[in-house]
Each structure stands twice: as C-alpha cells, then as structure tokens.
C-alpha cells in the first residue's frame, strides 16, 4: 500500500516580538507529528519559541506568470511613500 | 509554446540569473535547469544520508561521553541536512520517496567517499577534518546559487556545518598530542582519508562534463581543480601544525604559484568506487534499503492512525 | 568513600539514562524516516546530557581522581545498576518505542519527586531533566497510539512489544539498599510509591491505543543488583571498547 507522509511547511518565531518566519518543510503523518518533528528538525539550536505547521497542500500561492498584473501596478504609486512629499528643510522629525 | 517563444524565455531566464536574481519554485525554468537541479540537490541529499553511516558506526564506541554527544549531534545534523536538501528537491515537483527509489535502485549517485570503511576512532577525526573540510569548500559558494530553495538550504547547512570540522580537527589534535599509539592512529587515518578527500572535489576539469553550464547557473563558482588546490593549500599547514604528515611524497610548496604542488591522484580508483566497487558500496546501500523497508509498516501505521483520527474528528462535528 | 550510599544512588539513576541513551544511539541513521531518526537521536542526546550531570556529581562525591568517563565506561557488568528494561534490544521500532514509553512514564514520575530532594544538586538536575523527559513521554506515548491504533500489522507488533517488555516493568519499583538509605535521609525517591500512578497512566495510554493490558503477573528483576540479561554484555563491549583497548588515554 504505502501512502506517503504528506509535506508540511514550518514557520518558526525566533523570539517573542518577531513574526513567524518560513523555516522549511518536512514530512509528517499528522499535525501533532509535524509539530514534534519541526521542534527536532528546526529548533535544535534554540532557534524558536513558537512553531506553526501548515500542510503544504493548504497553501494557495500566487502564480509568477501573473506577476505583471499582480505586482507591477504598485510600482508607480510613489505617493504611498513619504519621500514623495516635499517639505522645507526646516521641518524636522516628520 | 513555439520554439521561438521558448528561446526567448530561456534568454530572459539566463539574463535574470546573470543579474543575480534568484529563481523560485513556481517560476518558469528550462527543463534542463530543473533536471540538473534535481540531480545535484538529490545527490547532495543522498550524500548526507549515506554519510551518516560511516560515522554512525562509531556512536556506540565513542571513547568518552563528550565525544559521544558531539558525534551524535553531528550525525543528527547530517540527517537534518539531508532533510533540508530533499525538501529543496521537492519544490521542483519530485517527492522524497521517488528520490529514495532512485538511491535504492542504484540510479542516483552519492559522494563516493562514504564507500570507505571507518575502522578506527581516528577516522571520526579525519572525516570531520578532511571530508567536512572539503565539503565546506564545495558548499560555501552554493549559499549564493541561483535556485532560491537550494541557496536557502545551503545557508542553513553551512551555518550548522561549522562545528563539524572543528569537532573533527579537535579529535585529531588530541590524538596527535597523545601517546605514540594515538599518534599512529591519527597518522594512519590521515593516510587512508587524504586521497579520497582530494577525489571528493570531483574529477579534473578536463574530465568534468557539467562544469560550464553549472557555472552559468551558479551551481558551481570555481572549477574542481581550483577547489582542490584551495583545499590542499589550507589543509597542509593544519597537518603540519599538529605534526602529522600528508601521505604524498610529491607535495611541495611552489613559491612561484604560492601554492602546493601535489602528486598524481589515482583516478582509476575513483572511477572504480563510483561504479560501485568501493569497499563499502554494498553495505551502505543495504543499510539504507533495510532502514526504509523495515520502516514501511511504521510509516503506514502513522498514516492510518492520522486518517482514523481525522475521520473521528469529522464525525464529531456532524 | 564517605558518601557511598549517595554515590551508589546516583549511579542507579544515571545508569538507566546511560544504557537507554546507548540503545537509542544504535539507531541513528537507521530510523523508519528521517524525521523519526532525528527525534530518536534527540532523546538519546538528552539522556547522555543527564548522564554527564549525574556522573560529574558522582565523581565529585567520590573525591578521588575518577572522571565521568571512568564511571561510565570502566565498571564491570555486575556494577551497572540500570533496570533490565532499558538494556533490551531494538528488536524493531515497536520495541524501541514500547521500551521508551514504559521507561518514560516511570522516569517522569521519578524526576518530579526527585525535584523535592533535599540534595540541592540532585533536585537541580531533576528540575532540568524533567522538561526533557516530559517531552519524551509525550513523544513515546504518541507513538504507542499510532502503532497500536494504526494498521493490523502495527497493532500486532506493538502488542508483541508491550507483552515482551511488560515483565521488566515491576523492577522499576524495587528498592535497593542505597534507595532505602537515601529515602530515609530525604534525598532519595521512594519508588514503591510511584507504582500505582505508573500503571494507571500506562494502562490509560494502552487503552487509548486499543491495546490489551498484559495480564502476566510474573516479573523479571535483577538489574538494580547488577544481574543483567545476556544483552548487557554486548552493549557494554561496545560502550567500553575504546577505554578497554586503550587504557589511560585521553580522547
């Protein structure tokens, strides 16, 4: 028979105050095992204080072929950035 | 897609890499890029996993508790590195099971050096010092390779690897400064592992088939011969420092090149081991196949249990 | 030695971790999956870490020039005081996990009592170890459930392992002379008092794993007195090989 253990994506918070970051993936039969495995595989050197596991198949990713329409329209919206606005040099701390 | 369109995509692709942009899993990539990466990353992963065996051989016999925990942690890291690299392969749509299948059927290659036996404790020192030393030289440039998941895996690997070589060299120092019997043990290990370590950096450039393409894709930053020279130049002074002799009568400092000249490598032996005629090829493969086959019922059980638990949960909701 | 009872008491505790750590170490590179391999090695590393804390303390108590390694590797088989359970071989993954689980449940209960020891070093060691062992117990009991309630084949194998190892469980609760002396001084743990809670917890997990609780009332003993099963000699032959073949050297 042999059904393979599914793939899980592992997110680790390195310390409180930081966000969970994608660390890598691994195989596990269920979520508990994925957590246990993630602890042993990705936090052996004190790398984490919190772990999220998500089965890889549950992640919906954007398609790089659509990158043009997805991301390029944001490129010319310079008015969203503070440097767009001219202020006299005398104004400090703004 | 027309041939011209593909040519165009390929051109853009190569330009991206030339600009030092990273390629990510879902990006369009030439089929050859995908295949080459699967081959190189999986060979690398297999090497880590097979590489656990010669060192694992000494875990139960390590001479002190301190050495035992260091060795356990090191071999465990190798499992971790194999895992990171298999994961990187999986981003290209090939499963770990398929890769195992290639390894177990003898289709996939792994680093030949692990087909030599570890017969004394000093071999743990020599492997850490020389084999990991050569591996690091190979691996550090890969932290910057073009395929994102591979580069990320290598950054993690290199970070963890840094204790491995020190661990090995420390074993050698202790032996070299120990009793005459210990010093002999260290020299004997160096004698046996030196040449295979040089071979580990790959065939000479003249015989290496993949180099040019690999350079373009940043799978390789320096040629095999350059890497080998770098390894020799950095290792010889380390051997001198601890009073061991490199087993090469032709080894000589070349003032003009500012490098060591060295003797002829026995490439015949190298190719024989690659072809499966090394002292431990069969045993290594048997150990891996056994672990996999004997583990099958365990993996199946875990899967069956997970499914049952899921079903029960769903029933509760209803 | 002034504190001979305390010395022997510490060795009795540490030998369990030493021998079990050694058994788990045999598996590195041979596990049923990479992830499981890494997990078992982690447990082995935890146990050896504990061993070093205990033996370093014991060496200090001995007060001569013996080291942690002398204690770990240079005794005769009769002088190792681990329970028979931990020296049993890795017959298959079910045995490995059953051995782990049957020991972890005891180990956890033992350490939580040892934390109250009037010996501050021992209570500090217990305090550190209990976090590791809580994890071991969760890990191994999860595997008991997975294999017990997994497939037909895994159920048979897990039941066999539990049945095979059950006979070594009672010894966990036997008291040695050193035990009695240390309990009297408020240093040691009265293991006889851990027994009921132990079987309650073990049975609870076995039931959840849909396994039969063995009915056998005949139990093996001897490890705590240094009378081991035949497996032990081979385990020690490997553990001691270097120290015996190359005596009085540093590594």
- For the stretch B221-237, pLDDT in tens is 889 999 999 999 999 99
Q: Do C35 and A32 touch (CB under 8 A)?
A: no
Give φ, ψ of B235 to 5 degrees: -85, -35
Against chain C, the chains showing at least 3 CB pairs within 8 Å are A, B
For range C52-78, the mean pLDDT? 97
The two three-digit tokens of residue B96, written as one number:
């770990």
pLDDT of res. A83: 86
A82 band by pLDDT with thresholds 50, 70 and 90: confident
> Between residues 23 and 62 of chain B, which touch chain C (CB distance below 8 Å)?
49, 52-53, 56, 59-62
Helix, strand, coil tally for chain C in percent (to 5): 70, 0, 30
Within 8 A by CB and 6+ apart from B187, the residues are B244, B245
pLDDT of res. B251: 98
Numbered residues of chain A with Cβ closer than 8 Å to any chain C Cβ: 5, 26-29, 32-33, 36-37, 40-41, 44
For residue B24, pLDDT beyond 60:
yes
Q: Using CA atoms, how far apart are residues C108 and C133, in angstroms rounded to an integer? A: 6
Nearest to B79 among C34, C68, C69 (CB): C34
pLDDT of res. A3: 80
Q: Do A30 and B296 touch (CB under 8 A)?
A: no
Model-level ipTM above the cut of 0.95: yes
SS (H, E, C) B214-283: HHHCCCCCCCHHHHHHHHHHHHHHHHHHCCCCCCCCCCEEECCCCEEECCCCCHHHHHHHHHHHCCCHHH
Mean pLDDT of chain A: 92
Q: Using CA atoms, how far apart are residues B302 and C146, in angstroms rounded to an integer? A: 5
| CATH level 2 (architecture), domain A2-80 | Roll (3.10)
Range scoring the smallest mean pLDDT among A69-73, B25-29, B103-107, C77-81: A69-73
Determine the residue of chain B that is closest to C145 in CA distance. B305
Q: Do B302 and A29 touch (CB under 8 A)?
A: yes
Of C82, C131, C75, the C-alpha closest to C103 is C82
Nearest to B80 among A41, A63, A64 (CB): A41
B93 band by pLDDT with thresholds 50, 70 and 90: very high
Q: Using CA atoms, how far apart are residues B50 and C34, in angstroms rounded to an integer? A: 12
Nearest to C39 among A5, A32, A37 (CB): A37
Looking at the complex, report in whole angstroms how far the Cα of residue A81 sits from the nearest Cα belonging to chain B. Answer: 25
For range B185-196, the mean pLDDT? 98
Placement of tokens 């350079």 in the chain:
B215
Numbered residues of chain B with Cβ closer than 8 Å to any chain A Cβ: 24, 26-28, 76, 80, 83-84, 87, 90, 95-97, 152-153, 156, 160, 296, 299-300, 302-303, 305-306, 309-310
Q: Using CA atoms, how far apart are residues C149 and C211, in angstroms rounded to an integer? A: 8
Q: Do C251 and B171 touch (CB under 8 A)?
A: yes
- For the stretch C15-51, pLDDT in tens is 999 999 999 999 999 999 999 999 999 999 999 999 9
A2 band by pLDDT with thresholds 50, 70 and 90: low
Domain chopping of chain C, boundaries: 4-245
* Bridge pairing between strands A20-27 and A50-55: unpaired
Q: Do B69 and C45 touch (CB under 8 A)?
A: yes
Domain chopping of chain A, boundaries: 2-80
User: Hey, CA dihedral for C60, C64, C66, C71, is it positive or negative?
Assistant: negative
- For the stretch A35-68, pLDDT in tens is 999 999 999 999 999 999 999 999 999 988 888 8
Chain A contact probe: residue of B83, B89, B147, B308 with most A CBs at under 10 A: B83
- For the stretch B9-21, pLDDT in tens is 999 999 999 999 9
Against chain B, the chains showing at least 3 CB pairs within 8 Å are A, C
CATH 1.20.1260.10 fits C4-245, yes or no: yes
Chain B contact probe: residue of A29, A35, A53 with most B CBs at under 10 A: A29
Q: Using CA atoms, how far apart are residues B283 and C165, in angstroms rounded to an integer? A: 31
Q: Do C55 and B65 touch (CB under 8 A)?
A: yes
- Give, in order, the Cα–Cα distances in Å from C12 to each of C82, C128, C176, C184: 6, 18, 9, 17
Looking at the complex, report in whole angstroms how far the Cα of residue B11 sits from the nearest Cα belonging to chain C. Answer: 39
Chain C contact probe: residue of A35, A40, A45, A53 with most C CBs at under 10 A: A40
pLDDT of res. C137: 98
B2 band by pLDDT with thresholds 50, 70 and 90: confident
Looking at the complex, report in whole angstroms how far the Cα of residue C33 sits from the nearest Cα belonging to chain B. Answer: 7
Q: Using CA atoms, how far apart are residues B232 and C24, in angstroms rounded to an integer? A: 38
Placement of tokens 């090695």 in the chain:
C41
Q: Does B93 touch chain C (CB under 8 A)?
A: no
For residue B51, pLDDT beyond 80:
yes
Q: How many Å separate Cα C23 from the centre of its chain?
A: 10
- Give, in order, the Cα–Cα distances in Å from B49 to each of B76, B141, C107: 10, 21, 32
Determine the residue of chain C that is closest to B308 in CA distance. C150
Of C110, C164, C176, C115, the C-alpha closest to C137 is C110
pLDDT of res. B207: 79
pLDDT of res. B261: 98
For range C87-104, the mean pLDDT? 98
**Beta-carbon contacts below 8 Å between A and B:** 50
Nearest to B95 among A1, A4, A64 (CB): A4
Q: Does B76 touch chain C (CB under 8 A)?
A: yes
User: Hey, CA dihedral for C46, C52, C53, C55, is it positive or negative?
Assistant: positive
Q: What is the DSSP string of A46-87?
A: S--SEEEEEEGGG-----GGGHHHHHGGGTT-GGGSGGGS--
Q: What is the DSSP string of C51-65?
A: HHHHHHHHHHHH-SS
Q: Do A2 and B299 touch (CB under 8 A)?
A: yes
pLDDT of res. B212: 80
**Beta-carbon contacts below 8 Å between B and C:** 141
Q: Using CA atoms, how far apart are residues B247 and C82, in angstroms rounded to an integer? A: 46
For range B266-274, the mean pLDDT? 94
Chain C contact probe: residue of B123, B160, B305, B311 with most C CBs at under 10 A: B305
For residue A1, pLDDT beyond 60:
no
- For the stretch C161-192, pLDDT in tens is 999 999 999 999 999 999 999 999 999 999 99
The two three-digit tokens of residue C160, written as one number:
């066999």
Chain A contact probe: residue of C31, C32, C33, C35 with most A CBs at under 10 A: C35
Assess contact for C68 and C14: CB atoms under 8 A.
no
Looking at the complex, report in whole angstroms how far the Cα of residue C117 sits from the nearest Cα belonging to chain A. Answer: 29
pLDDT of res. B220: 87
Determine the residue of chain A that is closest to B292 in CA distance. A2
Rg (C-alpha) for chain B, rounded Å, is 22
For range A24-38, the mean pLDDT? 96
Q: Using CA atoms, how far apart are residues C99 and C91, in angstroms rounded to an integer? A: 10
Percent of chain B with pLDDT over 70: 99
């Amino acid at each position: 028979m042999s059904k393979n253990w599914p793939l899980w994506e592992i997110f680790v918070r390195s310390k409180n105050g930081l966000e969970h970051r994608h660390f890598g993936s691994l195989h596990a039969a269920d979520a508990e095992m994925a957590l246990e495995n993630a602890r042993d595989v990705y936090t052996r050197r004190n790398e984490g204080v919190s772990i999220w596991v998500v089965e890889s198949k549950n992640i919906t990713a954007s398609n790089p072929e659509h990158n043009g329409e997805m991301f390029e329209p944001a490129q010319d919206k310079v008015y969203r950035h503070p440097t767009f606005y001219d202020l006299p040099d005398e104004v400090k701390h703004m | 897609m027309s041939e011209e369109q593909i040519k165009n995509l390929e051109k853009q692709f190569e330009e991206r890499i030339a600009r030092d942009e990273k390629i990510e899993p879902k990006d369009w990539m030439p089929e050859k890029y995908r295949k080459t990466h699967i081959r190189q990353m999986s060979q690398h992963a297999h090497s880590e996993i097979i590489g656990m065996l010669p060192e694992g051989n000494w875990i139960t016999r390590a001479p002190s508790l301190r050495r035992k925990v260091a060795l356990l942690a090191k071999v465990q890291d190798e499992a971790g590195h194999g895992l990171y690299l298999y994961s990187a392969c999986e981003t290209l749509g090939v499963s770990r099971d398929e890769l195992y299948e290639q390894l177990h059927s003898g289709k996939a290659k792994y680093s030949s050096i692990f087909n030599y036996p570890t017969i004394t404790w000093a071999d743990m020192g020599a492997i850490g010092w020389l084999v990991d030393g050569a591996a690091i030289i190979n691996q550090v440039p890969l932290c910057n390779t073009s395929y994102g998941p591979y580069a990320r895996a290598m950054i993690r690997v290199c970070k963890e690897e840094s204790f491995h070589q020190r661990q090995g060299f420390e074993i050698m120092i202790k032996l070299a400064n120990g009793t005459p019997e210990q010093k002999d043990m260290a020299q004997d290990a160096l004698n046996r592992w030196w040449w295979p370590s040089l071979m580990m950096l790959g065939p000479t450039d003249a015989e290496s088939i993949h180099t040019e393409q690999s350079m373009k894709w940043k799978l390789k930053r320096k040629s095999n011969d350059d890497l080998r020279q770098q390894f020799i130049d950095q290792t010889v002074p380390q051997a001198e420092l601890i009073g061991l002799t490199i087993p090469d009568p032709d080894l000589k400092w070349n003032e003009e090149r500012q490098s060591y000249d060295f003797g002829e490598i026995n490439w015949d032996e190298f190719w024989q081991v690659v072809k499966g005629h090394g002292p431990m090829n069969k045993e290594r493969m048997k150990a891996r196949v056994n672990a996999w086959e004997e583990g099958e019922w365990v993996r199946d059980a875990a899967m069956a249990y997970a499914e049952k638990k899921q079903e029960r949960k769903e029933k509760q909701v209803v | 030695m002034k504190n001979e009872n305390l010395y022997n008491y510490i060795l009795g505790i540490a030998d369990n971790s030493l021998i079990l750590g050694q058994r788990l170490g045999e598996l590195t590179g041979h596990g049923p999956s990479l992830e499981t391999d890494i997990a078992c090695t982690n447990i082995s590393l935890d146990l050896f870490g504990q061993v070093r804390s205990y033996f370093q303390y014991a060496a200090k108590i001995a007060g001569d020039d013996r080291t942690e390694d002398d204690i770990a590797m240079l005794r005769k088989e009769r002088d190792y005081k681990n329970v028979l359970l931990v020296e049993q071989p890795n017959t298959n993954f079910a045995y490995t996990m059953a051995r782990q689980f049957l020991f972890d449940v005891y180990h956890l209960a033992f350490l939580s009592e040892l934390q109250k020891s009037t010996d501050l070093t021992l209570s500090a060691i217990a305090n550190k170890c209990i976090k590791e062992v809580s994890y071991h117990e969760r890990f191994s009991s999860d595997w008991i459930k997975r294999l017990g309630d997994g497939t037909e084949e895994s159920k048979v194998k897990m039941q066999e392992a539990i049945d095979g190892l059950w006979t070594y469980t009672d010894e966990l609760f036997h008291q040695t002379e050193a035990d009695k002396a240390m309990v009297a001084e408020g240093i040691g743990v009265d293991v006889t008092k851990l027994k009921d809670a132990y079987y309650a917890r073990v049975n609870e997990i076995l039931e959840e794993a849909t396994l039969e609780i063995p009915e056998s009332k005949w139990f093996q003993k001897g490890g705590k007195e240094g009378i081991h099963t035949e497996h032990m000699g081979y385990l020690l032959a490997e553990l001691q090989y270097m120290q015996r073949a190359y005596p009085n050297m540093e590594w």
